[in-house]
Structure 1
């Protein structure tokens, strides 16, 4: 476990806070009926998603769509797949590649710590490599509830260390960035707190990440403009039950990175939130406090506003993508017009992330 570093105004372990159910910031044991409900819901969801991913993997393979240049495994975690995407003109072991070091982006997939695998991010990784000329490495981790916190954090740390030591990869060690979606954003922020990792990472991009399990900075579930409920309104408790064991300190900065102090993280960060996502507020609060802005964590009326949707200060950038829900970058819309708009918004976000990364990685 890491040592917890609480930001100003945050509750210390043992202090009661009205926003959380546990008066000691320790994860409680849910009543039996709620545990059973979470168990069946989460495992049912896992079975459904696993079957869908098998179909997606086969479909993409047969269509040669968004395929990685290299699929590999490392001895430190021999059961966890790593997918590597080379930009155009670069292939493993070619003489031109060996002589050219590339800016590198390490990506961690989302899925509530319990679902999915790196294939869900193949389209993103392909865009970042082919369109924006990054070497992209997409990581796996062990999934909850069989592997709860902190196992996934340890997996990511071990794999990053192995990847950065891999002579097959043309990594420019002065230009390494790390990021992830949702749970992956959490794991990126957690892994980067390890000095042996963080000292090698120049920039980090958490996209709609979960950063607070204590409830101190948690926002409200919000219904989108078209009347759809928050994507996490029903499933959030299932994922928390699967990932967090009773008795866990909810303010541990490896679990809730909002409690990490500035010096524990890379000096350049780009937080992306979605307007109609319950996680938006906590990511916004973390971005603000790391940028040196005032944070009123306990004031539930303080929400990210449209007037404050995009800013950068003291090496920290915040962007709230308007009119979007959690997971919008990966969840297709049924309506053709909405899907076209979603794809355009997502492609624009990838471009902004790439442009920001280039500037961050070139900065002294």
Structure 2
């Protein structure tokens, strides 16, 4: 039985998805369109996957391509795969790979671990899709914010771990045990607003099942609690954003991974990139009151996209 909060978020999702349908449409965004849309797991609230192929792809020269599976952010509550179209298009063309943007069931209608299981199930289905020219030895998961949380947890799942060569989290939530006050206190400049801060604790409660509270240290919720280097793929790129409340915990996860990687296998790599001067989800929200700040934001988005693509090329063993 839905309560008022369920109906409120259903309405918010409808508004957000309608806006995405318009702004990511072929008539407003012709240069970032996917090559096809596919359904791997279809049920209420889950949108079809968006499949991107490199625009200069020569199927004879490269019969098989690496695969990147993208998982969007939105606080486990909103958005659909179209929100990642600009990044997906960029990565496909510049890292010469297949990019598949996927969706997952949203809270509060779908509590943890529904979204997590959606990510695992769709990832497995995509890897085994005979219609896509996938090089199964080069598969990477990539996610932003809540999507970063989901992929960093899914990468540790026994059903997926051995199928992945790399993992990328962008401003990911990695420790759900830390409350909003703790996270906000780690930001370098409290005068810069963080739009998640005041709502984080409430959103976390709506994502979790209050009737059957999960263990917050579970790596599916707090992927920072991995126990060994082998729990995650060989190559890891974590991207933090300077004024984001999740930046400190993401760097803590990087530090933990780096300590375990040092002196280990030379085929493993762990990288940390920090985007200076920006806030959470900066890539999706233009700054309207300052031309100078907007220009810096656009430059930061372009640089972040470029950095992720370059990292992918290294992971896929392409010449950079």
1:98, distance to aligned residue in structure 2 (A): 9.8
CA–CA distance in 2 between the matches of 1:152 and 1:327? Answer: 20
1:251-285 deviations in Å (ceiling 9; x for gaps) = 11111101112221112101111111111111111
Gap runs ≥5 in structure 1:
1-35, 294-312
User: What is aligned with 2:248?
Assistant: 281
Matched, 1:347 2:274: no
Q: Distance in 2 between matches of 1:158 and 1:224?
A: 38
Tell me, yes or no, if structure 1 residue 143 matches structure 2 residue 106: yes
Partner of 2:235: 268
Alignment correspondent of 2:264? none
SS of 2:68's equivalent in the other structure is: strand
- Which residue among 52, 61, 82 is the counterpart of 2:26? 61
The equivalent position to 1:357 in structure 2, one of 309, 312, 315, is 312
Check if 1:318 corresponds to 2:284: no
Q: How does 1:113-192 map to 2 (within 5 A)?
A: 113-192=76-155
DSSP 3-state at the match of 1:362: coil
Q: CA deviation at 1:162?
A: 0.6
- Please point out which of 66, 82, 102 is paired with 2:65: 102
| TM-score normalised by the chain length of structure 1 | 0.76
Q: How does 1:42-81 map to 2 (within 5 A)?
A: 44=8, 47-59=11-23, 60-63=25-28, 64-75=30-41, 79-81=46-48
**CA distance in 2 between partners of 1:282 and 1:225 (Å):** 16
Q: TM-score, normalised by structure 2?
A: 0.86
Structure 2: how far apart are the matches of 1:75 and 1:241? Answer: 26
Corresponding position of 1:243: 207
**Partner residue of 1:252 out of 218, 225, 242:** 218
Are the equivalent residues in 2 in contact too, given 1:276–1:325 (CA < 8 A)?
yes
- Go from structure 1 to structure 2 and tell me whether the alpha carbon gap of 1:96 and 1:65 turns closer, same or farther (over 3 Å shift): closer
Paired residues in the alignment total: 304
Judging changes above 3 Å, is the alpha-carbon distance between structure 1 residues 166 and 137 closer, same or farther for their aligned structure 2 residues? same
Which structure is richer in relative contact order (CA contacts within 8 A, separation 6 or more)?
1
Instruction: Give the CA deviation at 1:55.
Output: 2.8
